Structure 1
Amino acid sequence: MMYTMGRGGASRLGVAALALRNFSSATGGGAGAVARRAASNGIASGGAQAPIAVGVWIRGMAPTTTGGDRTFATMTLGEQEQREEKKQPQMASGGGMNGDGDEEKGIVSYWDIPTRKIRKEDGTEWKWNSFMPWETYKADTSIDLKKHHKPSTMIDKIAYWTVKSLRWPTDLFFQRRYGCRAMMLETVAAVPGMVGGMLLHCKSLRRFEHSGGWIRTLLEEAENERMHLMTFMEVAQPKWYERALVIGVQGVFFNAYFLGYVISPKFAHRMVGYLEEEAIHSYTEFLKELDKGNIENVPAPAIAIDYWRLPADARLRDVVEVVRADEAHHRDVNHLASDIHYQGHELRETPAPLGYH
């Protein structure tokens, strides 16, 4: 029971609320209906009424007071709305503090997964989410760039001439635009490692056996090639028709390589080895154009400086050199994988060259 005081005296208003199933419906539709009924009764009796306090009984909860502080069930509707409004800003905030001591907005997640800020060795904040400081490295540019696997078997010759046949339309389309050429090359070069790693992953699951580290090696290769693409995106912005070409080429190459790897892994890895040899040649020509001054030797993108641990004043030429070194390492890994298959072994029987950069 609650009481309302009118101007003409005290009139007793009894409100019996139906037993409600949950808290939200009690404070929403049920309480609102009771309040409107009580208000209409007050107006009908004549005279202005003071604010009406409505008490609602909830199943298993009595409208009691404890230490002078009323429970949520016995609050007036206005007080309930005020409390809800006070809660909303707190729920929208991530609860963090920025460097100035002000509250910093963050992402609210039901899953409560903690996030942390990564810092470099010099204390500055790490600004990349796609790779972490412990995943960066210094490229080994002393690797032999002239090594070549001479095709001897029929499978080797098919792989070799398949790659050579792909070079002709590439030269015709890009000519001497090596920035765009490198970008297009990386959209293709990042596919084989992902396909090979995925198929080895499924094979490991089917056979209940380890992969010898080759799954991770091939996936690292795919990620490394993707980082090449992210770097050259900062140097040469692709045009709309080049983006359309990437979609078509990637769709065809992914499915063709998938089928080739299922039929003959030795052929698939050998073809990638020859593809990397062509990449070395393309980046060597890129460096020649930079040295001649035909391509501006612009400052290196920030992502390249952090990923390859280059000096702060590194230039585009430095980036091309480390990318070419990466391609040489990928050449060696894929020719090795093909040789393992040629010798009648499986990749898992030979330790994978993890961290071979």
Structure 2
Amino acid sequence: MQIDVELELESIDVPEAWTVGHATRLNSAWNASTENIYAPPYRNAPRSIAVRTFEGSTTSLGKVPLSRNPLHRREALRTPAQKIDGQLIVDTRRDADGNIAHVLTNQVSRMLLAREQLAAHGAPDFPITAVLRKRASAMAERAYTLLGFNTVRTDGPVEGLILDETKSGHFYEWYPRLFNLDFPGSTSDTPRKLYIARRGVRRVDNDDSEIWPLLRDRGYERVYFEDHPLERQWSMLRNAQSIVAVHGAALAAMVFKAGHTKPDEPFHLVEIFGPGYAVHMYRHLAAVFGGTWSATRGRVTAEIIRDLDDKQLARARQAQAIQVDPHALDAAMAPQQITQLCEYGG
């Protein structure tokens, strides 16, 4: 089943938003106060997405990264080619299989798009196989299986009908259509108010003392996603109406809001950023699925300014623990009040 199409990706409007920073005397030398940081609305540029298949080998896609372990590396180099007939082969081995955001937004998204195009070309039940590294994470394999894809683990070449790499980046605008599906183990028995906390990397240092008590008193349930199977993680994010979450890969499960949002009842996401790593991927996703977004940023230190601004090391502080200002979080949970204050000078 050969496919070679170029699809036009429409624009989408992302509304204005606010990030509330930790209190600082940079605003007022005599009294520290929170910072209200305005993010203007924007429209992403339209572009095209190519979907192409070819008969051949995964070697045409480039080299698969090899293990640093010399024994594993030699084993991989000696692995013979594997032929798979009657299926579309998607090589996922150049991506981070231990990161669920990469699995869902980089790999599953293009597999779902390929599935859609196969159906458009008269092959709705054509099977798709994800090729993983021999020692790939069990989480990635579980994700593909839950969503109806076959998997094979190998460090060698795979031959057959290959899905070419997608060169045009993400296509978030199609996610509401592509991810409008169910999965085994999905449940509606999950909290409407959800606080996704973290342990270790990017943990909130003052969570137990200040942040969790604030959210608990407002009816939120605190969860650590690593304590739950994927299908429950996905269900929790799909069903939650009010979400407070430390920035991280777990939020990619927001794609499963497809088909589960109401225009007159938008969900709201408050994203907690470390001061050294703020990105707007989930702001865009929230807009795509009809939700609203705001954020709070942890306390900025001289070392963070040095690494990000002076040395321009974008990821130097991405794993750092976060000191969250409860007053900043409180403001971020009601961003419309910030807008009103700015408009009317209150």
- Tell me the TM-score normalized by structure 1: 0.23
Higher Cα radius of gyration: 1
From the two aligned structures, give the one with the greater strand fraction: 2
Higher helix share: 1
- Name which structure has the greater RCO, CA cutoff 8 Å, separation 6+: 2
Query: TM-score, normalization: structure 2?
Result: 0.23
